[in-house]
Amino acid sequence: MARPSIFWYDVGTVERTGPHATATRAPEPAPRRAGTASWWARAFSDESENARVRGEQPENVQVSAGPPADFRRPARPVATVRLGRWLLLAVFWAGLAAAVLPWWTHTSPRSLHGTPAVLTAGARVTGLVGGYVLLVQVLLMSRSRRLDRWIGGTRLLVWHRELGGFLVVTVLAHSSLVVVGYAATDRVGVTSEVVTLLTTYHDMVSAVVATGILTGIGVLGIRGLRRVLPHEVWYLLHLATYLILLLAYGHQFANGHELAEPGPARYYWTGLYVLAVGAVGWQRVLAPVAVNLRHRMRVLRVVPEAPGTVSVYVTGRRLDALGARAGQYLRWRFLTSPRWWQSHPFSLSAAPNGQWLRLTAKAVGRYTADLDRLRAGTRVLIGGPAGEFTADRRTRPRALLIAGGSGIAPIRALLEELPPRPVVIYRASHPDDVAFRQELDWLAQARGADIWYVTGSRDDPGPRRLFTVDGLRELVPDVVDRDVYVCGPPGLVTLTVRLLRVLRVPRRQVHLDPFEF
């Protein structure tokens, strides 16, 4: 196995520590080797000076005295499920065609004569398309593990975002065309027609409420606004999507010209609603209940990693049967006041080992700031695991891993399952912000990895030079022949992807885990 290398890359100086180090001056002390002094022991040792315990250890928890698990064999790469993805796209377009087909078969060309008729026809088509896309959005939100593996977490997020914007535009177009088209047909003003619609048609008020909620979600979903919203607000807004589904169902079947009478169209749309509600009920209610009853998880320990960053160790029954992989995330709900009703997604920061799971989070809000107050024994509910940021998605024998801030969590876990001799670039604002220092040093020794700690301001010469085409090529000359895993803030991810495209790294070799979930 190749010897590991540890580097500091800060304001233009580089320090290398190791058996054959010839270092230049560095502004911070070189990281010390952890050796096999067992970083894992702090999860269980009362003598660890770095461990901060809240409460007592849960009862009936058996902990081995040795390491949690040996390094796994490097996961065999699997091809992305392209066939499944194309099949889903084909099903989507076929379903959309079937949704609009009733209007097509019941509308003669002669009926589309004049502006009012064309506007009304446009209202019906946009209503059918909007209803269909709403159901697809609900399916995408159902947290299906099969969809996650077929489509991929990043692509699923893109689909959800793009369809969401299209849905808002389509529903607003439908509302506008209904009012203007009916007003033109009745030869009355728009205001008068709005009053008539609200007071005469069944479930029209519920449709207006659903449109208002959907528009609000769409506006707050703009990236600039979404980033400043608390996660709790965004979570509640997305829960309102189910209310939109309920309100839309009544409106669509009460006022939809093509669905008012029994027939194939009505049965088809009923089947779509049953499928959407069934998927949500199974994936978001029944399956999580079964998982949590099986594993019965509790907090084992809370350990500080860096200023404002803590790791939470969670234990439970039969964790080896959970099916989690390094690089994946789970949605964690800690049953303690006042945040028992919230679940947040956090990546695993250590490969699953059958004894405990570990999440690591930086205090960036009220929820994450409260994690260091968790007491041992606190009940934990989970959802997942999910995500395709895993070693089995690789296509090449070697890997480059780039992390920024708390994005080091899944990167650190991946080091246990990726093939030997990876290169790691870890971006942090200050050396004190570096988490898992000893673990990374130990992993570098065990896996023959080269680890670069890149600290300082983005305007400092070192970081600025590194994140350029020449800087990245100089640091990793064979970057084109590696899979590249990137996790960090949106700015870091965007910049890295841009550099990789210039370097002509094939897209299939780039794996992203952006902070968007």
> The tokens 């081995």 sit on which residue?
64
Question: What number is the average pLDDT over the span 300-315?
Answer: 88
Q: What percent of the chain has pLDDT over 90?
A: 5
Using alpha carbons, select from 445, 430, 437 the residue that is nearest to residue 305: 437
pLDDT of residue 198: 79
The H-assigned helical ranges of 318-468 are: 366-369, 408-414, 437-447, 461-466
Please give the residue that has the higher pLDDT: either 160 or 496.
496
- What pLDDT score does 115 carry? 82
pLDDT value at position 226?
64
Residue 401 has a pLDDT of 92
Task: Tell me the C-alpha distance between 150 and 139, whole Å.
Answer: 14
CA-CA-CA-CA torsion sign (77, 438, 13, 361): positive
Q: pLDDT-derived band of residue 357, with 50, 70 and 90 as boundaries? A: very high
Q: Which residue has the tokens 């594993």?
A: 295
Read off the tokens for 157. Answer: 């997020």
Q: Are strands 450-455 and 5-10 parallel, antiparallel or unpaired?
A: parallel
Q: What is the pLDDT of residue 64?
A: 35
Query: In the structure, what pLDDT confidence band is assigned to residue 358 with cuts at 50, 70 and 90?
Result: very high
Mind listing the pLDDT tens digit for each residue in 85-107? 778 888 889 999 998 888 888 77
Question: Can you name the residues that pair with 8 across neighbouring β-strands?
Answer: 15, 453
The pLDDT value recorded for residue 514 is: 63
User: For the chain, what are the domain ranges?
Assistant: 107-290, 393-512
Q: How many helices (H) and strands (E) does the chain have?
A: 16, 13
264/10: higher pLDDT: 264
* pLDDT (0 to 100) of residue 14: 36
Structure-token pair, residue 461: 């010469």
Asked which of 14-23, 187-196, 390-399, 440-449 is least confident by mean pLDDT, the reply is 14-23
Q: Give yes or no for a contact between 434 and 306, defined as CB atoms under 8 angstroms apart.
A: yes
In the predicted model, what is the mean pLDDT of residues 156-178? 83
Q: What is the pLDDT averaged over residues 352-359? A: 89
**Tens of pLDDT, residues 108-157:** 777 777 788 888 888 888 888 988 988 888 888 777 777 776 776 667 77
Report d(CA 122, CA 177) in Å as an integer: 7
pLDDT for res 229: 67
Query: What is the structure's pLDDT at 94?
Result: 92
Percent of the chain whose pLDDT exceeds 70: 78
pLDDT tens string 209-254: 888 878 877 777 666 666 666 666 777 777 777 778 777 776 777 6
Lowest mean pLDDT of 51-55, 149-153, 441-445, name the range: 51-55
Give the pLDDT band (50/70/90) at residue 42: very low
The CATH class of the 393-512 domain is alpha beta
What is the average pLDDT score of the chain? Answer: 76
442 pLDDT above the threshold of 60:
yes
The whole-angstrom distance between residue 352's C-alpha and the CA centroid of its chain comes to 19
pLDDT tens string 10-31: 443 333 333 333 333 333 333 3
